[in-house]
Each structure stands twice: as C-alpha cells, then as structure tokens.
Amino acid sequence: MADRSVHYVGSLPGEDAESAMSGALARSGPRLRTLADGETGERNRWIVNFVDGLDGHPDLETLARGAWSSYEDIPKYRVRKGRTLTGDALNLGYLDEFRRSYPVFKKLREEHGNEGLRYQVGLPGPLDLAMFVFGPIGPFKHVAPFQEATVRELRQIHAEAGDDVLFQIEVPVELVFMTKAPKPLHGVLSRWLAKKVAAVAAGAPEGTNFGVHLCLGDLNNKALGKMKSAAPLVTLSNAIVAAWPAGRTLEYMHAPLAMGDLPPSPEESYYRALSGIKLPAGCRFIAGLAHENQDLETQRRLLGLVERLVGDRVDIACACGLGRRNPDQAARAMDRCNELAETG
C-alpha cells in the first residue's frame, strides 16, 4: 500500500459535525492525519456567514447586501464615520466552534482507534477577511483588526488543546492576486503576501503546528482565479516558506491543482514549475488534484507526474472543501482521494 495520506481541506458533507466527521473517518480514517469538524450548516460556505453577520455591527456601515450568487453579488461594508474597527470588536467564531466540536472529535477518534489523529482548525487569512468585508481597499487598510482577532482566538484554542490541534491558514485571495498580476510583479507581490500569511504563525505560541491551504476560491464550486500553469502557486509557496517564523512548525503546503468544478489540466507542461518548489524538511506537499469529473487513469498519470517533479511522495486532497458540492459529488470526490492514495 502506498504511503500517502488523505487530507480533507475543511467543509464536508453532513448535517452536523458528528455526521461529517463520522463520514470522513468511515471513508478514509487510517489515512487521515488531521480532521476538521466539517464546517457544516451555516458554515458550509467558508466565511459567508461571518461576513453576513457583520450587518448591524456598531463600527461598520452596510453599503450593500448580497446573496452570494457570484463573486460580484456579495455584501459591502465600510468603517462608520467616527468609529474604529478593532480586533476586540470581532468574534470570528473559531473558538466557539472549537468548543462545540472538539469533544465530539475526541469521542469519534477514540471510537475509531485513531490515536494519532489531530483536530484541524481552519483559519481564513486576515487579508482574505479584509478583502471580502471591505473590497479592494481591505488588504491595504483593514487587515490589522482581523489579524488581531485571528491570533487571539488561535491562542485561546491552543491554550485548551495544545499540540492536539493543527491550524490551517486558508488563503485564496493571495493566490488569486498572483494569478491576476503581471509576471514581472510576482516576486515582490509574493513576498508582500507571504508576510501577511506568516504573521498569523508569528503571533502563535512557539511550537504551534500549521498547514497552509493555497486556494483559488470555491464559491458555489466555482473558482475565483484561474491558473495557466502551476508557476504562481510555486512562487507564492516558496515566498511563504522563506517568510515562515522560527519555532512554528509548517507541516504541509496544500496546492490546488483543480479549480472548482474544473478538473486538473491534463497537459504536462502545466505542472512543470512544481520542480522548483522548496519546502522545509518534514513539510508535506498535498496535491489538490482529486476530482470526480476526471477519469482515474488520467488522475493517476498526473499524480505520477507531480511526484516526479516534486521529488517525493505527495499526499492527496481535493482543491478545496467539499461543502459546495452536492452529496453525490462529494462522495465521489472522497472516493477518488482514496483511490489516488492507494496508487502504487
């Protein structure tokens, strides 16, 4: 049996945390290293519920409401005149959800006999939160309060769970910026973006464990950014590794090789840049190429190509969470993860 793990990025099919985690454990239990609570219910569209919940915030003025039918149909806010938005005024909900789901996770872990499994907490990047709340000015003017709130809740969770939790920093806006910027700007842009990502880890206690989920967006299972090759994600990944703070463990880098409802490119040239990826010792590369709408033979060929370019075995994932797929699509995507992980 091949020594690959399966990684589920975040959202999972299920009515609640117990059913979502139970389903993942039933399908992939021995192959999982970490497991999120499934981000079910009102959380199944990543930060949508948080952004909508800011309507009526005393420090913010709602400029427009949105139904999230597309990336253009989203709410718009600004800081209310005479007010200041601070991290103390934001409840991101990470701690609340952790306290609800972590006891369920521990019960299921014991029932399945997977002692090494750790609880995975998804942390949307502060720059991403600022972008979706305030629009294009957000990343340049309003990152600080989201950074403060993220680090506060991270530290509170770590104080309660210690090394039994891994924090996954989730950064679609950063990779989308890379896909849209002219190539000559990739170097300076990636370094600026990487500092924002690494700042979350730098605010954590020493010894805290992290993974990074590079993302292209997945609203309604549609990608916000499109890559013509893997080069932008390699440049951004290498910049994040270079900026990573000492004393915090980067356990994996997850790379989206599919794009929402679009399966991975079948062209070998698309992946060539992966030969230049630089990861620290012990950091796993997770290939987000599992997709239900591409035949298994092609996916196995692409997996072999990715492993030759990276120079090591890789772990298997989809490009993003499964909450935006219908139950049948999600089940087939999870089965594909296992099929690829078992490839000889």
Domain span holding position 318 = 17-45+91-341
Strand, helix or coil at 253? strand
Q: What is the share, in percent, of the chain residues with pLDDT greater than 70?
A: 99
Bridge partner residues of 34 (DSSP)? 118
How many structural domains comprise the chain?
1
Q: Is it the case that residue 221 has pLDDT exceeding 90?
A: no
What is the domain-level CATH number for residue 229? 3.20.20.210
What would the two tokens of residue 256 be?
């989206």
Q: What is the pLDDT of residues 114-152, one digit of tens each?
A: 999 999 999 999 999 999 999 999 999 999 999 999 999
Whether the pLDDT of residue 1 is over 60: the answer is no
Q: Per the structure block, which two tokens stand in for 133?
A: 């709340």
For the segment 314-337, the average pLDDT, to the nearest whole number, is 95
Q: Which amino acid is at 210?
A: F
**pLDDT confidence of residue 3:** 84
Residue 101, domain member (yes or no) = yes
Within a domain: 50:
no
Q: Is 53 domain-assigned?
A: no
What confidence score (pLDDT) does residue 74 get? 93
In a domain, 52, yes or no: no
What is the arrangement of strands in the sheet containing 284-288, beginning at the earlier edge strand? 34-35, 118-124, 165-171, 209-214, 249-256, 284-288, 315-317
- Average pLDDT over every residue of 87-111: 98
Q: Is the dihedral of CA 59, 70, 8, 308 positive or negative?
A: negative
Q: Within a domain: residue 70? A: no
Q: How many CB atoms lie within 10 A of CB 188?
A: 11
Place of tokens 């910026």: 177
Average pLDDT of the chain? 96
pTM of the shown model: 0.97
CA distances from 223 to 81, 114, 343 (A): 35, 34, 27
Mean local confidence (pLDDT), 158-178? 97
CA-CA distance, 165 to 210, in Å (whole number)? Answer: 9
Residue 54 lies in a domain: no
Q: Is residue 164 part of a domain?
A: yes
Position 192 in a domain: yes
Long-range contacts of 107-111 (CB under 8 A, 24+ apart): 108/18, 108/21, 108/22, 108/25
Residue 2: pLDDT over 80: no
pLDDT digits (tens, 9 = 90+) for 290-301: 999 999 999 999
